[in-house]
Structure 1
Amino acid sequence: MKITALLVLKSPGDSSASGGEQQQAVVLANASDVSHFGYFQRAAAREFILFVARTVALRTPAGSRQNVLEEYQKTFGESWRTTKTDVTQPWQYLDDALTKYQDPAEADKLLKIQRDLDETKIILHKTIDSVLARGERLDSLVEKSSDLSISSQMFYKQAKKTNSCCTIL
């Protein structure tokens, strides 16, 4: 799944709403990549992203995104507290995060581990298949060999029967 946008919004507190009207969340920073949308759909996609971001910001409890708040304050200071309108300051932290998390395996450590396990499993299956193929070739070589004595051939066959409990089906 591709990440299309990352936004940082200031959500008005419940007590800051005046009268019966609810205030909107204010955009502080925005990083988006709508290049995978058609040219004529890009503006509508940006509008929809902004609508969803404002809705989520209003419904998210205060203080639940502490890490983003700390990073934003490191870069821009306390100016966000007094902002009343949308500000679209370029923020390299968002651009880097948008690029980094385009690959879901980067964002999710469990997914990365699962992918590594799948690769290891494939390699292991190939190795087992090649070992089994070598075993079949060894059987044919023993049968064809005229240089081996009868006792050596009997020893090989007996060892094969003894080790047959360890074969992978």
Structure 2
Amino acid sequence: MKLYFLGVFNITKSPAIKLCAEEDLSSWGRWTQGTYHDFMVMISKTVAERTKPGQRQSVEEKGKGMRMSPLFSRMWSLTIAPDVMIHCYARSEGVAGVMITDADYPAMAAHRVLGQMLDKFLSEKPLKEIMAATQDDQISFPQLKEDIKTYQNPKEADSIARIQAELDETKVVLHKAIENVLQRGEKLDDLVNKSNDLSMTSRAFYKQAKKQNSCCVLM
């Protein structure tokens, strides 16, 4: 099981603002880590913006060799990539937590982590400070650095019994692909083109993967 990304976003703005985040990119080579970083930030903002206050969502993306949505498959197809899940929990205060894991990481454990993370974040950071942030990474939250290490083991999120006890109380919307959280009329290509989170290298990587993926994705 692997935890790749953990972050907090201000979803009252569009695009969402990444207030703080931590990543573990050790699963990928040095030359591709920058691209994976760019796309994880972009996809996190996309899912966060489309999660309603009080809602929990888990978006499933299949890895190479499977039929999956274009956003990850066009990039993932150039590398050996795992199945991933994008978990998101949005609070009524206008803040959302996003966690990207592999497919083996229990969804309920992920949402438990997100709940605890946001509770601590909101208890430490005044809402005025949060809403005043206008750029990514303007708020310091050192706890994330510890959390992304601690919660590589999902059992650390809480006891299995407690997670199971909350199963019926916590409603998580599971989406099979990222397209299901896009708004009507939105296209992934347009999302990539207008995103400020992608470098020129990442855009080129996306276009190359898109071209290659069009003839190699298994149905």
The two structures have a TM-score, normalised by structure 2, of: 0.42
Given the superposition, is the C-alpha separation of residues 2 and 69 from structure 1 closer, same or farther in structure 2, using an over 3 Å criterion? Answer: closer
Distance 1:48 1:27 in 2: 13
Structure 2 residue 92 is the aligned partner of structure 1 residue 42: no
Structure 2 residue 75 is the aligned partner of structure 1 residue 75: no
Residue type of the partner of 1:3?
L
Helix, strand or coil at the partner of 1:27: strand
CA shift for structure 1 position 112: 10
Residue type of the partner of 1:97?
D
Given the superposition, is the C-alpha separation of residues 74 and 107 from structure 1 closer, same or farther in structure 2, using an over 3 Å criterion? Answer: closer
Alignment-derived partner of residue 27 in structure 1: 18
Alignment-derived partner of residue 160 in structure 2: 110
CA shift for structure 1 position 80: 0.8
Alignment-derived partner of residue 154 in structure 1: none
Structure 2 residue 55 is the aligned partner of structure 1 residue 5: no
> Is contact 2:15–2:45 with CA below 8 Å preserved after alignment?
yes
Give the fraction of aligned pairs with identical amino acids, expressed as a percent: 25
Distance 1:53 1:70 in 2: 19
Given the superposition, is the C-alpha separation of residues 36 and 12 from structure 1 closer, same or farther in structure 2, using an over 3 Å criterion? Answer: same
Alignment-derived partner of residue 84 in structure 1: 134
Distance 2:162 2:30 in 1: 33
Distance 1:112 1:36 in 2: 30
CA shift for structure 1 position 75: 2.6
CA shift for structure 1 position 81: 1.2
CA shift for structure 1 position 111: 8.4
Q: Which runs of 5+ in 1 are unaligned?
A: 14-22, 114-169
> What per-residue deviation string (whole Å, max 9, x for no partner) do you get for residues 54-80 of structure 1?
011111112444444442233332301
CA shift for structure 1 position 36: 2.0
> Is contact 1:30–1:89 with CA below 8 Å preserved after alignment?
no
Residue type of the partner of 1:107?
A
Q: Which moved more, 1:66-75 or 1:30-39?
A: 66-75
Distance 1:29 1:85 in 2: 10
Q: Which moved more, 1:59-68 or 1:3-12?
A: 59-68
Equivalenced residues, count: 104
Output aligned runs, 1:93-132, within 5 Å: 93-107=143-157, 109-110=159-160
Which protein is richer in helix relative to its size? 1
Distance 2:162 2:121 in 1: 28
Distance 2:162 2:131 in 1: 38
Q: RMSD between aligned alpha carbons?
A: 2.6
Helix, strand or coil at the partner of 2:31: helix
Alignment-derived partner of residue 141 in structure 1: none
CA shift for structure 1 position 99: 1.1
Which protein is richer in strand relative to its size? 2
CA shift for structure 1 position 27: 0.6
Structure 2 residue 43 is the aligned partner of structure 1 residue 52: yes
> What per-residue deviation string (whole Å, max 9, x for no partner) do you get for residues 25-50 of structure 1?
00101111112210001000100110
